Amino acid sequence: MTSTTEQSQRSGINVARLLMSFGPLMFLALLIVVFTVLKPSFIDPINIFNIMRQISITGLIALGMTFVILTAGIDLSVGSLLAFCGMVAAVVAKGGTANTLSLSTSGAQGYGWFAALLAAVVVGALAGGVQGFAITRLKVPPFVVTLGGLTVFRGLTLTISNGGPISGFDASMRWFGTGLIGPVPVPAIIFAAAAILCHIVLRYTRYGRAVYAVGGNAEAARLSGLRVDRILISVYIIVGFFAGLAAFVLSARLNSSEAVAGIGYELTVISAVVIGGTSLFGGIGSVGGTVVGAALIGVLQNGLQFNNVSSYTQSIVIGLILILAVAFDRWLKSRVRR
Amino acid sequence: MPTAEAIAPSLPLLAVEGVTKRFAGVTALSDVSLEVRPGEILGLLGENGAGKSTLLKILSGVMPPSSGRIVFDGVEFNPHNPQDAKRLGIVTIYQELSLIPTLTVAENIFIGRAPLGRFGLVSWRKMEVDSRAIIARVGLDLDPETPVSALSVAEQQLVEIARALSLKSRLIIMDEPTSALTETEVQKLMSIMGRLRKDGVAIMFVTHRLEEASAICDRMTVLRDGRLAGHLDRDGGPIKLPKIIEKMVGRAASELYARPTLRDVAGDVRLSVRGLRTVRDPQAPHAIVLEGIDLDLKAGEILGVAGLVGSGRTELARAIFGADRIAAGTITLDGKTIAPETPADAIALGIGLVPEDRKHQAIFAALGILTNFSVAALGRYSNALGFMAERRERQALASYRKTLSIRMASPEQPIEGLSGGNQQKVILARWLARDPKVLIVDEPTRGVDVGAKAEVHQILVQLAGRGIAIMMISSELPEVLAVSDRIVTMRRGRITGEMPGIEATEEKLMELMALDQTQEATQ
């Protein structure tokens, strides 16, 4: 009789697993069909590439957030950190904090795009590391630490920039935001490459296994010899790194680093991860899911806009989808556990 | 001896009649009957897995029985939830205390029924005055405004009892109330129990501690393997320990475990512990403090560590494994002094631990069997760049699946879908993948069904045969007797005795586990 219960549980889990990984994907396909029927030009390559460009910024951060949420953590500071890293990148690119407010490419004394990129990701990673340190060593919950970070990084941004934007970068830097390789926007390529990299890390490396283990059961992970604190710190470094990378791409695209950039991004990012099936309780989720989640939000936003639905209504729809996605996930799990 | 006849007629307050409880094919409780009279302390005794907790859950309304009948105060009693039981005056005080630590003593006592004053607002004054009187009844003298988190475990227990009294309880069920208490605190609790008895309250005292049970109980009901093993009455004097032990141990239990032939173990000392002490950790106030442990573990030997709940056996394992901080003492492994500060340190040195609480400390429930298997040996199944060598990993799992006969569907199957026995085999495989020198197994067959128990035992014997030094902690004596080459007993953070496995009997071990300093008595 044990074997029969095992049997039924086994097949139940398989069906649920299938739904859990393909549910969001099926929903995404459905949305694309619906929007295309409503307005066939929705499916035009130009619009599709446009969507890809739109989702790449929050998508990049969502990749990092996937690591954090897999460990049952959260990072609310990413929007502010994005603004801060963007400002740092701008200062490096332009060679000073002087707010020229000029849109001319007069960054003659600047250090070039590479230094700007490096500065953005290093500062992002460091900021993440500091937060990770506070979470593990000071034992302050991630929600609180990163809520503090949200305020601190915004304040730092405003301090550097004096409240205004720093604008006007040279063409080589702008290419990362506005360039095309063939027909594909550069930000979309960066996002895709990063997603593949993250997928490989989580799925095929020792480190990836450790991240799932820590999120699945931190005490069991510790008793299995994993250095739980180090792994926790590392995931905040990763999300910080991606906030820096996203900041660089965003500044390049807008040709400006705004002090008010990224406000509310943490919510979009977390939504993408959660809609993608990653459990807020840790241990369950995937990069593929996050990409689908980010795409879902992007398609929804774009499609609604395409059909002249106001941005107010968009917010309502996206919020409801988030709740439904998690409710569906819960329902599936409760079906399995029975 | 306080007598009940003045207050109570001999009509039972609670009568359990032929209660049976089945879970998904397993019978946890089979045709159990007992009675508790007003003004009487009934001891409910039995080894782990005897069915005590199941019975308590039924009585307190957590779950219904599968069959049988319960009569309380002459009326059939069918609680649907704990509130039903409480309303009738049956209060259960569990081992894990249920007070809310952030609230004050008074707030906890009056939780959900705060006295109201004018305008229907809470009358804090009345609450304070009343709670002072209530806690005085259990001999507590403290400010009712103290937050519960500031109290000792013993004080918290008394507050729970006080709350039970203020609920006009007629039957108080105490589940292992003394396991976290010091000797003096136990004495105090006993005298309060005596006073309650005089007041006509019926008490059901669930315990492992035979001396305490013997000292206070008027009658005892003993369970064994989910069945009634018998009732014992106080006959002029306290119920004698040997009589209790005989009932608890029985004859049937030992037939389940075939005793292996004694193996010739002449290995060198692998692990040596001297003067190991810990201090009370404010984060874990229930943990037992180790009071100077000396222990040797030889290569190829299975050392059984027998002890009741609260004996410090798990704490000993955790201290050696680097999971808890050590205050004093030395540990040597193969002659070299080691000081593991984290489990990772201990694992790197060649020590493995199969923890007691599989669900919370060992398995990653939602993750696949493969991940569960290799988590402690990720370094062995990955290349220099950090990529998993998944083919090697899968081959290793496949070979353990065969040798340990792990019944599973696929390496990706979440481990929570496996039976307890198969989960435990995966955890054993986790450590075998590291070729440990020392393997500590804590309650290796808890939550494992009978058939798989024997398999786990065989695995342990085989591993010892390969030269691994095994320390097996268990509160199931038949298990300790079945596989141990040598046995030590623990009680309250101390080692109370040692004997070769071949000489040990359940009676001898039970005495050493239950009593202080009685080595002479065994030989």
A3 chain-B contacts, CB cut-off 8 A: 407
Give the separation between CA B37 and CA B30, rounded to whole angstroms.
Answer: 23
Nearest neighbour of B24 by CB, restricted to A3, A5, A219: A5
Q: Which DSSP string do the residues of A5-68 spell out, in sequence order?
A: HHHHHHHHHHHHHHHHHHHHHHHHHHHHHHHHHH-GGGGSHHHHHHHHHHHHHHHHHHHHHHHH
Q: Which residue has the tokens 């060992």?
A: B362
Any A CB within 8 A of B484 CB: no
Q: What pLDDT is stored for residue A333 in this prediction?
A: 66
Is A227 within 8 Å of chain B by CB?
Answer: yes
Q: Is A212 on the interface with B (CB under 8 A)?
A: yes
pLDDT at B518 (0 to 100): 40
Q: What is the pLDDT of residues B201-218, one digit of tens each?
A: 999 998 877 888 888 999
B153 compared with B355, residue with greater pLDDT: B355
- Please give the backbone phi and psi of residue B32, each rounded to the nearest 5 degrees, phi first: -100, 135
Say whether residue B172 is in contact with chain A using an 8 A CB cutoff: no
Q: B411 to chain A: nearest residue by CA?
A: A10
Residues of A in contact with B374 (CB under 8 A): 209
Structure token pair of residue B433: 């993948």
Q: What does the mean pLDDT of chain B come to?
A: 85
Contact with chain A for residue B431, Cβ under 8 A: no
User: Which residues of chain A have a CB within 8 Å of the CB of B440?
Assistant: none
Give yes or no for A26 touching B (CB within 8 A).
no
Residue A325 confidence (pLDDT): 77
Tokens of A191: 């996002």
Of A5, A207, A212, the CB nearest to B367: A212
- What does chain A come to in residues? 338
Distances (CA, A) of B458 to A304, B260, B402, B475: 65, 9, 14, 18
Residue B358 · residue B418 · CB < 8 Å: no
CA atoms within 13 A on the CB side of A131: 35
Chain B, residues 333-352, CB within 8 A of chain A, namely 342-344, 346-348
A3–B390 C-beta distance less than 8 A: no
Q: Do A10 and B417 touch (CB under 8 A)?
A: yes
pLDDT at A328: 77
Q: Which of B363, B367, B419 sits opposite A6 (nearest CB)?
A: B419
Q: How many CB pairs under 8 A join A and B?
A: 96
**Distance to chain A for B399, nearest Cα, Å:** 21
Residue in the structure block whose two tokens are 């586990």: B513
Q: What ipTM was predicted for this assembly?
A: 0.85
| DSSP string covering B20-41 | EEEETTEEEEEEEEEEE-TT-E
- What domains are defined for chain B? 1-11+37-65+77-89+170-250 (3.40.50.300), 96-167 (no CATH), 256-350+436-522 (3.40.50.300), 358-434 (no CATH)
CA-based nearest distance A286→chain B, Å: 13
Q: What is the pLDDT of residue B271?
A: 95
Q: What is the pLDDT of residue A237?
A: 98
Q: What is the pLDDT of residue A153?
A: 97
Tell me the residue type at B357.
D
> What's the pLDDT tens digit per position in A87-110?
999 999 988 766 554 444 444 567
Chain A residue at shortest CA distance from B408: A6
Contacts with B346 from chain A: Cβ below 8 Å: 225
Rounded to a whole number of angstroms, the distance from the CA of A84 to the nearest CA of chain B is 32
Contact yes or no for B409 and A213 at CB 8 A = no
**pLDDT by residue (tens digit) across A185-220?**
999 999 999 999 999 999 999 999 999 999 999 999
pLDDT band at B453 (very low <50, low <70, confident <90, very high): confident
Q: Is the CB of residue A145 less than 8 Å away from at least one CB of chain B?
A: no
Instruction: Check pLDDT > 90 for residue B517.
Output: no
What is d(CA B376, CA B233) in angstroms, rounded to the nearest whole number?
52
Instruction: For residues A216-243, give the mean pLDDT.
Output: 97
DSSP state of B362: I
- Inter-chain CB proximity B387 and A9 less than 8 Å: no
Confidence at residue A203, expressed as pLDDT on a 0 to 100 scale: 94
Whether B417 sits inside 8 A of A216 (CB atoms) is no
Give the H or E element holding residue A311: helix A311-337
Given A204, A219, A225, which is nearest B360 (Cβ)? A219
Cα distance between residue B344 and residue B265, in whole Å: 29
Residue A24 contacts B where some CB pair is shorter than 8 Å: no
**With contact defined as beta carbons under 8 Å apart, do B201 and B4 qualify?**
no
- For residue B2, pLDDT over 60 is answered with no
Nearest-Cα residue of chain A relative to residue B409: A10
- Assigned CATH for A20-337: 1.10.3470
Higher pLDDT, B356 or B8: B356
Lowest mean pLDDT among A30-34, A325-329, B68-72, B371-375: A325-329
Lowest mean pLDDT among A8-12, B171-175, B343-347: A8-12
Per residue in A47-78, pLDDT tens? 999 999 999 999 999 999 999 999 999 999 99
Residues of B in contact with A226 (CB under 8 A): 344, 375
Of A3, A5, A224, the CB nearest to B376: A224
Task: Flag if A221 and B342 touch (Cβ within 8 Å).
Answer: no
pLDDT at A327: 82
Judge contact between B190 and B128, C-beta under 8 A. no
What pTM does this model have? 0.79
Residue A104 or B42, more confident:
B42
Choose the closest CB to A220 out of B24, B362, B409. B362
Question: For an interface test with B, which of A70, A223, A226, A334 has the most B Cβ atoms less than 10 Å from its Cβ?
Answer: A223
Higher pLDDT, B403 or A330: B403
For B363, counting Cβ atoms within 10 Å of its Cβ (0-12 exposed, 13-18 middle, 19+ buried), the class is buried
